Structure 1
């Protein structure tokens, strides 16, 4: 099993600043290399507020991991399959919109974690 580093999380746990940038319009994996060169630690890939599909978000996520940037994806909705698809594809974090109560948050968290911590398949 490959141990993928999450540089942003490591920096935060060490009490350091992790700097990131949001991405909404770029559709090329080259953006990851450019943002690493610019010094960013994480890349926020927004699939809620544009027409980017899962495949593009996953390709950018993999490219970001390859250059040492943590890919975080905001998914378009709160059904668990939105999150699990990008997590399976390489996202190291997800932002789930429109979660307005603790029960919904708990259900989503459970559906994103594998047993014994959750119910993800």
Structure 2
């Protein structure tokens, strides 16, 4: 209504949606999405809001992002995906959500690691079992 630009980014291409996701501000994320924030915007490294939600274990925010059309299998410049980020940090609930939303566990990063390999390397056995 007021003409605020919700997709303005900083010098690292981080948007308000990305910052709200990082901070776990679910209500702000919801408002930004209602105001047509670009759910698939990526920062200078190609990291999306869904990847940030995966890394931080923001499962409910990830659910909102997916509902608003977030690309589940988006990969950053390093080849990482939301599923890989969640597996790396042991975010079991977020991994479960991403798997249920058809995240591709066969994607690999530039080091040729899949989410399963990453979970194994980090010792997140519950996630290893989920991804097998």
TM-score interval w.r.t. the shorter chain? 0.3 to 0.5
- In the superposition, the TM-score normalised over structure 2's length comes to 0.37
Report the structure, 1 or 2, having the larger helix content.
Answer: 2
- TM-score, normalised on structure 1? 0.39
Higher fraction of strand: 1
